[in-house]
Amino acid sequence: MQYYQEFVALGSKTGLSLVSEAPAGDIEALYHKLWREIFLFERRFSRFLPDSELSTFNRSAGVKKSITPEFHELLTAARAIAQDTEGLYNPFILPALQAAGYVGSRVPGREQDEVDDYSGKTVVGIDQLEIGDTWARIPYGSALDLGGCGKGYLADSLRAKLPDLVTGYWLSLGGDIAIGGQNDNRQPWFVTIQAADNQKRDIGGITITSPSGVATSGTTVHKGKKNGRSWHHIIDPRTLQPAKTDVFLATVHDNSSLRADVLASCAIILGCSLGMEFLKNKGVKAAVLQCQAKNGGSRIVSLGSNITLGAVHA
């Protein structure tokens, strides 16, 4: 039997599908545990909450700060993926992100909530992140934003905590999904990919046959204008400006939801041609890039044998 629950969390719609023959009471208890993990994660690591561990850590920049074991694990994962991408992903990007225009929450009704403003601070390299056994330190005048990898990290963490009574799962945290097992028809899961210019239309999808992650990143949702200039939230660490790119939307399938999340954003920064070559070199399972064509329209570039292109309804 397939179960589904949905709430707004982590700044977007979050939906959890579980397939199991266990008693309904056991599944309800599991849902309670999963939602508790999700909401606690948001309270601990959202930059939009002034009392979160991340916010208080940023305000302590320049000194050693005691951190929780989960924050230690998250920071270690962020540093590892930043090093693996040679800085194309940089959790220190927050000052540039805010300077571009992405300061407040995008959740309806929370846009005017007060947040710490680091737009005048400095973006430093990942080598400036110090992590001890029970502490961490960032340079004075810098600040971290873990939004670029946090949901992927959480999806991987939730997947690892699922008990054996679950035979299939689809954990969707906004644009990051952890998937495994089979659906209630005992078939592989199929992730449809929305068209970059129309969320009601799909361009195909990815068949998932092993536990893994799928993430989509793009320049079409978190965007706006500041001082007459358009911005989006994918910042190029090399220029500290919104990426000048011909990729509208990048979807990546990888063993890890965290890697899929980060690598999708990296592909956008690099652009269609270099981005796809980058994803090939990183050994992703599959990828679909929706790019701008020379005639002003759009074109689709894909990688992987488990991709179906063309309108599908699954």
- Pair (229, 295) in one structural domain: yes
Is there a domain that residue 276 lies in? yes
Give, for all 314 residues of the chain, the pLDDT tens digit: 999 999 999 888 999 999 999 999 999 999 999 999 999 999 999 999 999 999 999 999 999 999 999 999 999 999 999 999 999 999 999 999 999 988 755 455 555 567 899 999 999 999 999 999 999 999 999 999 998 899 999 999 999 999 999 999 999 998 899 999 999 999 999 999 999 888 789 999 999 999 999 999 998 765 565 556 666 789 999 999 999 999 999 999 999 999 999 999 999 999 999 999 999 999 999 999 999 988 777 899 999 999 999 854 43
Is there a domain that residue 68 lies in? yes
- Pair (238, 130) in one structural domain: no
Is there a domain that residue 172 lies in? no
Distances (CA, A) of 137 to 10, 67, 118, 128: 25, 10, 17, 8
User: Residue 290's domain is classified under what CATH number?
Assistant: 3.10.520.10
- Pair (205, 97) in one structural domain: no
Q: Which domain holds residue 95?
A: 48-137
State the total domains in the chain.
2
- Pair (132, 212) in one structural domain: no
User: Residue 101's domain is classified under what CATH number?
Assistant: 1.10.3980.10
Is there a domain that residue 171 lies in? no
- Pair (120, 202) in one structural domain: no
Is there a domain that residue 120 lies in? yes
- Pair (132, 194) in one structural domain: no
pTM: 0.92
Last residue of a domain, one of 105, 137, 169: 137
Is there a domain that residue 30 lies in? no
